[in-house]
Amino acid sequence: MQKRAAIVAMAQTRFEPKKGNERVQEMVWEVVKEVRELTGLDIRKPGHIDNAVTCSDDFFDARTISNSCIGDLVGAHMGSEEKVAMDGLNALFYAAACVLSGHSQVTLLAAHCKESQSDRNLIGYAASDPIFQRGVGLDYLSAAGLQMSAYLHRTGATEEQCAAAVARDRRHAGHNPKAQCRVPVTVAEVMRSAYVCDPLKELDIYPVSDGAIAMIVTTEERARELTDKPVFIGGSGSCYNAFYLGDRDLSRDPALAAAAKRAYERAGIADPRKAFDLVELAAPCSHQELMWLEALGLVDDGRAGAFIASGATDFGGALPVNVSGGMLSGNPLMLGGLARAAECFIQLRGEAGPRQVPGAKRALAQGATGPAGQHHRVMVLTAE
**CA separation for the pair 76, 327 (Å, rounded):** 30
Across the range 241-258, mean pLDDT stands at 96
What is the rounded average pLDDT of the residues 300-328?
98
Q: Is residue 46 part of a domain?
A: yes
The rounded percent of the chain whose pLDDT value lies above 90 is 92
At 34, which helix (H) or strand (E)? helix 24-39
Query: What would the mean pLDDT of 185-206 be, rounded to a whole number?
Result: 98
- The residue among 315, 313, 384, 308 whose CA lies nearest residue 356 is 315
Residue at 42 is within a domain: yes
Three-state DSSP at 171 gives helix
Asked whether residue 70 is assigned to any structural domain, the reply reads yes
Q: What is the CA radius of gyration of the chain?
A: 19
Mean pLDDT of 353-362: 98
Task: State the pLDDT confidence band at 286, using cuts at 50, 70 and 90.
Answer: very high
Provide the domain count of the chain. 1
Summarised one tens digit per residue, pLDDT across range 233-246 is 999 999 999 999 99
Query: Does residue 278 lie within any of the structural domains?
Result: no
Residue 359 resides in a domain = no
Kindly tell me if the per-residue pLDDT of 1 is higher than 80.
Answer: no
Which CATH number belongs to the domain containing residue 39 in this structure? 3.40.47.10
What value does the mean pLDDT take over residues 86-99? 98
pLDDT at 63: 87
Of 137-141, 319-323, 373-377, the range with the lowest mean pLDDT is 137-141
Confidence category of residue 333, pLDDT binned at 50, 70, 90: very high
Q: Is residue 40 part of a domain?
A: yes
The reported pLDDT for the residue numbered 47 is: 83
CA angle, 171 as apex, 298 and 180 as ends, to 5°? 105
In a domain, 63, yes or no: yes
Instruction: Answer whether 121's CB lies under 8 Å from 339's CB.
Output: no
Helices within the chain (DSSP H only) = 24-39, 58-61, 88-100, 120-126, 140-155, 159-173, 187-192, 220-226, 254-267, 286-295, 304-309, 336-348
User: Residue 199: is the preceding peptide bond cis (ω within 30°)?
Assistant: yes
Could you give the C-alpha distances from 296 to 139, 293, 299, in angstroms and in order? 25, 5, 8
Does residue 332 fall inside a structural domain? no
pLDDT at 11 over 70: yes
DSSP 321: B
Q: Which domain holds residue 214?
A: 5-118+208-226
pTM assigned to the model: 0.97
Dihedral angle over CA of 91, 52, 107, 211, nearest 10: -60
Look over the chain and give the mean of its residue pLDDT values, rounded to a whole number: 96
Whether the per-residue pLDDT at 45 is higher than 90: the answer is no
How far is residue 151 from each of residues 142, 145, 154, 289, measured CA to CA in Å?
A: 14, 10, 5, 12
267: Cβ contacts below 8 Å, ≥ 6 apart: 234, 235, 380, 382
The average pLDDT across 321-325 equals 98
- Contact of 346 with 360, CB cutoff 8 Å: no
